[in-house]
Amino acid sequence: MTTSASSKLSGILLVLTGAICWGIGGTVSQKLFQLDGIEVNWYVTVRLLSAGTLLLVIQSFTHSRSQIIDVWRNKKTAVQLILFGLAGMLAVQYTYMASIKHGNSAVATLLQYLSPIMIMIYIALRKQSALTRKDLACGILALLGCFLLLTNGSVTQLSVSRLAVIWGLLSGVAAAFYTLYAVQLIKKFDSLVIVGWAMIIGGLGLSLIHPPWKADFASISTETYGYLIFTIIFGTMIAFWFYIASLKSLTPKETSLLGSAEPLAAVGTTVVWLHEPFGFYQWLGTACIIGLILVMQFNRSGTSKRMNDKQPHSR
């Protein structure tokens, strides 16, 4: 095997591992909410603060250590980073976890993956690009996928709670903002620096409302701590680190396409491990949304490709 082929295989393994860790991490988060009465507020705070710190530690050992401080030297950049941490990172994490809490990991992940459609609509409304027939086809595919996923083919009732749907759709909106707003920051600094600090900022912001140290630690079981550590290390830190590392040997398009393994991992583990019921029409809706993701990635061009060249993942 040539060096380039070996490097590409390594990149594929990295991005697939990262995507699968993200998907499984969502399902493990669902399990956490089912144990010991873990609250979304406490969990999101601890997860953000811990994972953000670990990502900055990785940055200091693998990339430019000076960037960790340099990002704060410019007032405009510092303000942008704080806004990104609160309105981007915290919003994405909180809405995603709230959707899992009120529904399940599979539905929450798939709803968040509708963010490219929301970005497409936003860009069209801003008249930055006109909607094409392919865009309209993607919109129809998204609506059909959502309908089947959330109703399992029924026109009278939802397959998950309304709160799960609302939080999931808000997660998609937050992910769209996260994706668009991060562009200007990622152009100047490494993704690990921006996301690491954004997580810490989001965690500190939520700590002011829900201090993480105010919890009944005596009631938390060893099993719960184990799941918590898994979601921080594997579901966040390693997942993001591997995803970014894969860009060294894969194109952003290849990385994004392989990253579609995440919703498959989320759906699979939710159904198999947590025994969540998933009907035929929900599987069909899942196929529509994953198909939508693949179609949009294959048809990336111009602005959208440049926008995503160094795009951090939102999990």
What pLDDT does 1 receive? 61
pTM: 0.90
Over residues 71-85, the mean pLDDT reads 96
What pLDDT does 217 receive? 81
- What residues contact residue 7 under an 8 Å CB cut-off, 6+ apart? 248, 249
What pLDDT does 293 receive? 84
Sorting pLDDT into bands at 50, 70 and 90, what band is 314?
Answer: low
pLDDT over 60 (residue 253): yes
Is the distance from CB of 164 to CB of 149 less than 8 angstroms?
Answer: no
Q: State how far the Cα of 108 lies from the Cα of 263, in Å rounded to an integer.
A: 9
Q: State how far the Cα of 87 lies from the Cα of 235, in Å rounded to an integer.
A: 22
- CA distances, 304 to each of 4, 27, 138, 252, 253 (Å): 27, 30, 15, 11, 11
The two three-digit tokens of residue 183, written as one number: 């562009």
pLDDT over 80 (residue 310): no
Sign of CA dihedral 300, 243, 167, 101: positive
pLDDT over 60 (residue 305): no
Q: State how far the Cα of 85 lies from the Cα of 108, in Å rounded to an integer.
A: 21
In this structure, of 107-111, 263-267, 304-308, the range with the lowest mean pLDDT score is 304-308
More confident residue, 150 or 5: 150
pLDDT over 50 (residue 75): yes
Sorting pLDDT into bands at 50, 70 and 90, what band is 136?
Answer: confident
Q: State how far the Cα of 20 lies from the Cα of 57, in Å rounded to an integer.
A: 23
Average pLDDT, the chain: 88
pLDDT tens figures, 28-57: 999 999 987 789 999 999 999 999 999 999
Domain map (residue ranges) of the chain: 14-308
Which has the closest alpha carbon to 314: 188, 180, 189, 206?
180
pLDDT over 50 (residue 302): no
pLDDT tens figures, 79-121: 999 999 999 999 999 999 999 999 999 999 999 999 988 988 8
As a whole number of Å, the CA-based R_g of the chain is: 19
pLDDT tens figures, 186-210: 889 999 999 999 999 999 999 998 8
- What residues contact residue 40 under an 8 Å CB cut-off, 6+ apart? 33, 94, 97, 98, 101
